[in-house]
Amino acid sequence: MRTLHIDTDILIVGGGAAGCFAAVEIYKKSPACRVVVMEKAHIERSGCLAMGLNAINAYLHSGQSPDSYISFIERQFEGIIRKDLVYSIVQGLNDVVKDVEEMGLPIEKNEDGTYKMRGKRSIRIFGERLKPILAEAVQKTPARVLNRVVATNFIYDGTRVCGAFGYGIRNGMFYVVRAKTVIVATGGASGIYKPHNTGEARHLIWYCPWNAGAGYAMGIRIGAEMTSFENRFIALRVKDVNAPTGTIAVGARSKQINARGEDYLERYYHHLGGNKCLTQHRLLATLEEKKAGRGPCYLDTTTVNEAVERKLKEDFLNMNPPIILLWASRDMNPRCKPVEIQGTEPFIVGGHCQAGYWIDKERRTTIPGLYAAGEVAGGAPKKYVSGSWVEGRIAAATAVKEIKDAPWNDIDNEIILGEKGRVLAPLTKKTGISPLDVRERLQKIMDEYAGGISMNYTLHEERLLEARRLLTCLKGRLKDIAAADNYHLVEALECVDRIDVARVLVEHLIYRKETRWACYQTRLDYPEKDDSRWLTFVNSIYDPNTDEIKMVERPLNS
């Protein structure tokens, strides 16, 4: 197999919202700067924006202040957020949205040209083609996009990240991309936990199934400090098709009702705030209704008229086409039948929750030469797509600025050969464990011992310790994984990444001995929130030499 060497000034790993935006920004700031974007799929339709998007949920409408915005997020996350990071995001939101509008994104407006308010922090967009629009903006720059190249590890000399290795899944080439600075902007991690559906429907999950946590895992493996993995995300979504409930709740003013037709948030969960409760409590209440025998739960769409139904369908075609199929099946029209909702399996993300690299305000990670933006950057929840663009902008500015101080290190051939051997090993085995077997084993362990769907998301020490033990065993079996072709090799690499992420996740879950976030982190053995002890960040650093994960705490005002 051939090895391809590429030298560049800045390497961006992951061509999603943050990565594409960063590439465009670098060109604006420093047109002569050489940029390479390494992308697992094709930047025109990759990652969580592949289906499209119908709303931008992080926007500062007139009359709102950054302070009120930050207070909202702080309350949603029970006091644990990096205010400095959130503040830097809020300041940039409106500018980046304007930029993407100019790239060609249609946004719903008032007659005076301002964006129409969809919700307090939200605007309605027609984003079926949001990803192609972003990709087109990148393609107008001289950036070199490596589509269908899977990033496998950072090139790291023990002091500084100086590029990344990748595997070309179409051409079978091994990529050695040397760079002065590297921005990691990959997606979060799906596929860690067992999903609701199996067999032919196993990928009907909320989050992109090919976001396997590579960006996290690559950082973990070089000892980058990670934060808040225990702040898992579980989405309340339309059953089976995982369409966002917000589109219906906002678009049709639908209430959440239980099987008896009761407005259950108001009737049984008034103490949590009723219909004004936190995002996590909507999920908790829905789960409690199921346990109390008052499920399934629904969004009551039966009151909407035909015009609203059509508008809902248009919004969903822009973001989640499969719900249109559900509504077109027998007796499932939303005006006749309320829409059933349920919680998904847990995901590890930094865009809805805050799992990710521990970074400073300029988006530097704890490893010199490496910057993080978007889903893999921790500490700034509810940043969503627009916040990811802002982080792409900030990381780009820092990466450009720090190129001049970056050394041009030669890469030891031993390191290259070692990584090439590791990546290709599954292809050399005629028999062995299949990636599918490994993934199912991982998902079963996490489901049963680390608070998956079958455990109603609950956690406690004894089970978590068993998860720790079983994950160590599973990691030991990775050397026997076999792949018949490039497609299965990618699945094998995903297994490696997911297990590294899962092991860190379990340590975070063991460490936080309180219940901070309902469902996301519910400890049966420590059921109360304890502000006197746990108003702190839980961080981790993996040691590749000892295979141990060291836990550290960082104060809120870091």
Partner 1 sequence: MSIFIDENICNGCKGLPEARCERICPGNLCYRRENTKAIIRDQSACWTCACCVKECPVQAIELRLPFQVCSDGSSLKARLKQDKTIWTVWDAEGHQEEFIIQARSWKGD
Binding site for partner 1 (CB under 8 A): 41-42, 44-47, 50-51, 101, 104-106, 126, 128-129, 133, 148, 169, 197-205, 208-210, 240-241, 310, 313-314, 317-318, 321-322, 324-326, 328-330, 487, 490
- The nearest distance, CB 150 to partner 1, in angstroms, is 10
Contact 343, 235 (CB under 8 A): yes
Query: Is the CB of residue 526 less than 8 Å from the CB of residue 515?
Result: yes
Cβ atoms of residues 392 and 88 within 8 Å:
no
Minimum CB separation of residue 237 from partner 1 in Å reads 13
- Per DSSP bridges, beta strands 370-372 and 174-184 are parallel
Q: How far is the CB of 327 from partner 1 (least distance, A)?
A: 8
Residue 127 C-beta: closest distance to partner 1, Å: 8
Q: Which candidate, 506, 370, 512, 507, places its Cα nearest to that of 80?
A: 512
E-strand stretches of 61-143: 117-119, 122-127
CA 252, CA 238: separation in Å to the nearest integer?
Answer: 15
Q: Give least dist CB 440 to partner 1, A.
A: 12
Query: For residue 408, what are the CA distances in angstroms to 60, 150, 157, 341, 381?
Result: 41, 24, 12, 53, 35
Q: What is the 3-state secondary structure (H, E, C) of 122-187?
A: EEEEEECCHHHHHHHHHHCCCCEEECCEEEEEEEECCCCEEEEEEEECCCCCEEEEEEEEEEECCC
- With b for 16 or more beta-carbon neighbours within 10 A and e for fewer, the 364-387 pattern comes to bbbbebbbbbbbbbbbbbbbbbbb
Nearer to partner 1, 364 or 439 (CB): 439
- The least CB distance from residue 61 to partner 1, in Å, is 21
Closest approach, Cβ 85 to partner 1, in A, equals 28
Residues 6+ apart with CB under 8 A from 33: 9, 10, 26, 27, 400, 403
What is the closest distance, in whole angstroms, from the C-beta atom of residue 244 to partner 1 in the complex? 15
Nearer to partner 1, 4 or 317 (CB): 317
Q: Take residue 321 and report the two structure tokens written for it.
A: 């086409």
C-alpha distance across the termini of the chain, in Å: 46
Please give the Cα distance from 437 to 492 (Å, whole number).
Answer: 10
Among residues 58 and 105, whose Cβ is nearest to partner 1? 105
Nearer residue to partner 1 within complex by CB, 126 or 268: 126
Nearest distance in Å: CB 54, partner 1: 10
Of 200 and 414, the one with the shorter C-beta distance to partner 1 is 200
Residue whose CB is less far from partner 1, 301 or 522: 301
Nearer to partner 1, 436 or 552 (CB): 436
If the CB atoms of residues 79 and 104 are measured against partner 1, the closer one turns out to be: 104
CB 252 within 8 A of CB 308: yes
In whole angstroms, how close is the CB of 189 to partner 1 at the nearest point?
Answer: 15
Distance set, CA 440 to CA 101, 290, 426, 520 (Å)? 42, 26, 18, 22
Q: Which helix (H) or strand (E) holds 249?
A: helix 245-251
Q: Which helix (H) or strand (E) holds 36?
A: strand 35-38
Pick 106 or 432: Cβ nearer partner 1: 106
> Between 173 and 556, whose beta carbon lies closer to partner 1?
173
Q: How far apart are CA 307 and CA 325, in angstroms?
A: 19
